[in-house]
Amino acid sequence: MRIAVGSDHRGSALRHKVIVFLEGLGTHVVDVGVDSANAVDYPEIAAKVARQVSEKSVDRGILICGSGLGMAIVANKFPGVRAAPCHDEITAEVSRRHNDLNVLCLAADILGPKLADRLVDIWLRTEFEGDRHLRRLRKIAELEFRNGRHEMSAPPQNLV
């Protein structure tokens, strides 16, 4: 599995720890940074990761900022990206099982490294249930298409 990982300045330390965890699992990590003591605008980093997920050059993405909220807002602007902040084991599991979340957003100001690793592990191991949830993801993709956020000439039929 290929995972793009990015953070702003507030998430940099946690990003490094998450990357070590992912590499320990044998995951190929694409690190889009950033390592800066100076403030960095999170939309730039979120766009780099989300674009890679949207274009399918990576399988999933992980974004880390202070709250996880701003990163999720930006990532969801890209076609086919389903991003959300997860702060506990339940949201990490349900985000995959019901929503097939492909970009996990983590809050460096809230999560410690052990909990972040646990959430990443759950998120990676949990399979999408499909069934009624697939129908709902198709509706989301249809909305992207109708609102001009999808580059396809016809609405998507096959997801997952």
From 65, 86, 105, 150, active-site residue: 65
Phi-psi region of 3 (alpha: psi -120 to 50; beta: other; left: phi over 0): beta
| Eight-class DSSP state of 57 | S
Letter string b/e over residues 114-150, b meaning 16 or more CB atoms within 10 A of that residue's CB: eebbbbbebbbebebeeeeeeeebbeebeebbeeebb
Nearest to 8 by CA among 58, 68, 87: 68
SS3 of residue 156 by DSSP: coil
From the candidates 16, 87, 98, 133, give the one annotated as an active-site residue: 98
Please say if 16 is a catalytic residue: no
Task: Give me the active site residues, please.
Answer: 65, 98
